[in-house]
């Protein structure tokens, strides 16, 4: 017997279908450079969180630590009139896109969820433009960290180096053990990441004058020459195959006990954790000698691009999901970073994570929290790239320290 649906039943079926269709369409396309093991594991926390909320994920990964390549691809996409929904971005790059009028507006979610009160002002400087929220901060990383193989440290006497001389002594001991003392990848952003820490180790004022104020005398002065000398010294502890090596492969050298330590931001911890290593037992995290109490930070934010009206609800839901305190804890535990909100308990974080959260809060209170030059939080890309160029040429032996300071001051002056 044939059954006929009543008008009401048909309407109900159609509504359900309409609902399903709308749901299936709700998705985000996300451009990012989180392609290493630890990074991908953290990204998965975000993907799954959104999928559980019915938002599908279109992945647009662009490999390359520090995001240089990702930013090139982004430029091409936007120029072609095809901006992704959300883009992983650092500091001044976000403001540059906002200036171009390319970003959307998150004010509605930010106001409803009280972001102003819980997201530190140091991050808000990059999440807001002209008083409007344009990006959702995911985390706070920092660059002045050292990741040491615990067994190698123990074999060298077990003491964490407290200053430059002790650091050099430790690296010599690693060499005696037959290890590569410093695991490093010769890429401009990695060289610059070490330079962040080396410059900071000469004091907060020096870092601020050099990288925040871009003071020509500081950039071209005697102390900067000493900083370059220290870079040259560290260069003598890397292996012959360092050129072009990805940062996570350098982390793997420490994890596998082939190298003594790595100078790298706390995304390196994500690699150790992914490899099943435990802080305190298998590896040690410490601030670069001489920088304890200070933090050079960078925050990954998802800059939200102007998209078609029908894509905005998913974009706002993504922003809201990112700022949820539960997500902030779950994600940052895996990523190696501290939460982007001040009210997230540190309960689930390991000792390095707890230290990251504590250091950040203290540096913020003491005025010793600075944007990372290497990771786009001290200057716009033009200045950052000018510094990268000099630091890398010097690291590769193309410039003496004397030449490097002269070039640094000149390059920054021309770029600013
Ligand atoms: C980002 C990190 C990332 C690292 C290496 C940094 O600029 O802030 O999230 O893990 O680059 O790719």
| Residue 300 in contact with ligand 1 by CB distance below 6 A | yes
Residue ID of nearest Cα to ligand 1 atom 10:
267
Longest dimension (CA), the chain: 95
| Residue 137 in contact with ligand 1 by CB distance below 6 A | no
Distances in Å between the Cα of 188 and the Cα atoms of 146, 212, 299, 318 are 18, 20, 19, 32
Tell me how far the alpha carbon of residue 65 lies from the centroid of ligand 1, in angstroms: 6
Ligand 1: residue of 67, 68, 189, 264 to mutate (most ligand atoms within 8 A of CB) is 67
| Residue 33 in contact with ligand 1 by CB distance below 6 A | yes
Q: Are 403 and 203 in contact (CB under 8 A)?
A: no
| Residue 39 in contact with ligand 1 by CB distance below 6 A | yes
pLDDT digits (tens, 9 = 90+) for 136-163: 999 999 999 999 999 999 999 999 999 9
The pLDDT score that the predictor gives to residue 18 is: 46
Mean pLDDT by 10 residues, the chain (416 residues): 46 47 74 98 98 97 96 97 97 98 98 98 98 98 98 98 98 98 98 98 98 98 98 98 98 98 98 98 98 98 97 98 98 98 98 98 97 98 98 98 98 97
The pLDDT score that the predictor gives to residue 14 is: 47
The pLDDT score that the predictor gives to residue 22 is: 44
The pLDDT score that the predictor gives to residue 24 is: 52
Domains of the chain: 28-141+298-355 (3.40.190.10), 143-295+356-415 (3.40.190.10)
Ligand 1: residue of 32, 43, 192, 265 to mutate (most ligand atoms within 8 A of CB) is 265
Interior angle at CA 307, CA 305 and CA 312, nearest 5: 100
Radius of gyration of the chain (CA): 23
| Residue 271 in contact with ligand 1 by CB distance below 6 A | no
How many Cβ atoms from other residues are within 10 Å of residue 378's Cβ? 25
Ligand 1: residue of 141, 248, 269 to mutate (most ligand atoms within 8 A of CB) is 141
| Residue 141 in contact with ligand 1 by CB distance below 6 A | yes
DSSP collapsed to 3 states, the chain = CCCCCCHHHHHHHHHHHHHHHHHHHCEEEEEECCCCHHHHHHHHHHHHHHHHCCCEEEEEECCCHHHHHHHHHHHHHHHCCCCCCEEEEEHHHHHHHHHCCCECCCHHHHHHHCHHHHCCHHHHHHHEECCEECEEECEEEECCEEEEEHHHHHHCCCCCCCCHHHHHHHHHHHHHCCCEEECCCECHHHHHHHHHHHHHCCCHHHHHHHHHCCCHHHHCCHHHHHHHHHHHHHHCCCCCCCECCCHHHHHHHHHCCCEEEEECCCCHHHHHHHCCCCECCCEEEEECCCCCCCEEEECEEEEEECCCHHHHHHHHHHHHHHHCHHHHHHHHHHHCCEECCCCCCCCCCCHHHHHHHHHHHHHHHHCCEEECCCCCCCCCHHHHHHHHHHHHHHHCCCCCHHHHHHHHHHHHHHHC
Rounded to 10 degrees, what is the CA torsion of 217, 221, 187, 39?
A: -70
| Residue 67 in contact with ligand 1 by CB distance below 6 A | yes
Rounded to 10 degrees, what is the CA torsion of 200, 206, 210, 215?
A: 180
Give backbone dihedrals phi and psi of 5, rounded to 5 degrees, phi first.
-80, 140
């Amino acid at each position: 017997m044939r059954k006929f649906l009543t008008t009401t039943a048909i309407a109900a079926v159609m509504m359900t279908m309409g609902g399903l269709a709308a749901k299936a369409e709700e998705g985000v396309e996300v451009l990012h450079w989180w392609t290493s093991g630890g990074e991908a594991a953290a990204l998965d926390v975000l993907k799954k969180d959104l999928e559980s909320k019915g938002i599908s994920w279109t992945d647009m990964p662009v490999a390359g630590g520090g995001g240089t390549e990702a930013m090139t691809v982004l430029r091409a996409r936007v120029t072609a009139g095809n901006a992704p929904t959300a883009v992983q971005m650092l500091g001044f790059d976000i403001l540059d896109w906002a200036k171009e009028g390319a970003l959307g507006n998150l004010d509605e979610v930010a106001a409803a969820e009280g972001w102003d009160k819980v997201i530190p002002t140091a991050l808000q400087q990059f999440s807001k433009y002209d008083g409007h929220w344009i990006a959702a901060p995911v985390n706070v990383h920092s660059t002045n960290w050292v990741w040491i193989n615990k067994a190698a440290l123990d074999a060298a006497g077990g003491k964490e180096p407290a200053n430059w001389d002790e650091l050099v002594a430790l690296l010599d001991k690693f060499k005696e053990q037959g290890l590569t003392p410093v695991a490093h990848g010769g890429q401009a952003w990695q060289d610059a990441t070490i330079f962040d820490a080396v410059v900071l180790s000469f004091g907060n004022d020096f870092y601020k004058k050099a990288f925040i104020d871009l003071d020509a005398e500081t950039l071209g002065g005697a102390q900067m020459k000493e900083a370059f000398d220290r870079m040259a010294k560290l260069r003598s502890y890397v292996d012959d195959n360092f050129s072009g090596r990805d940062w996570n492969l350098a982390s793997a050298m420490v994890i596998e006990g082939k190298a003594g330590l790595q100078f790298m931001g706390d995304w390196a911890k994500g690699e150790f954790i992914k490899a099943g290593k435990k802080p305190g037992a298998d590896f040690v995290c410490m601030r670069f000698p001489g920088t304890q109490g200070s933090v050079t930070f960078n925050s990954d934010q998802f800059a939200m691009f102007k998209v078609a009206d029908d894509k905005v609800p998913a974009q706002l839901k993504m922003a809201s999901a990112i700022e949820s305190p539960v997500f902030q804890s779950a994600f940052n535990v895996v990523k190696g970073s501290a939460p982007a909100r001040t009210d997230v308990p540190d309960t689930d974080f390991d000792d390095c994570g707890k230290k990251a959260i504590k250091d950040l809060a203290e540096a913020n209170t003491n005025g010793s929290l600075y944007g990372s030059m290497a990771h786009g939080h001290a200057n716009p890309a033009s200045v950052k790239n000018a510094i990268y160029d000099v630091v890398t040429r010097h690291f590769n032996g193309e410039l003496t320290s004397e030449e490097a300071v002269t070039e640094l001051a000149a390059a920054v002056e021309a770029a600013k």
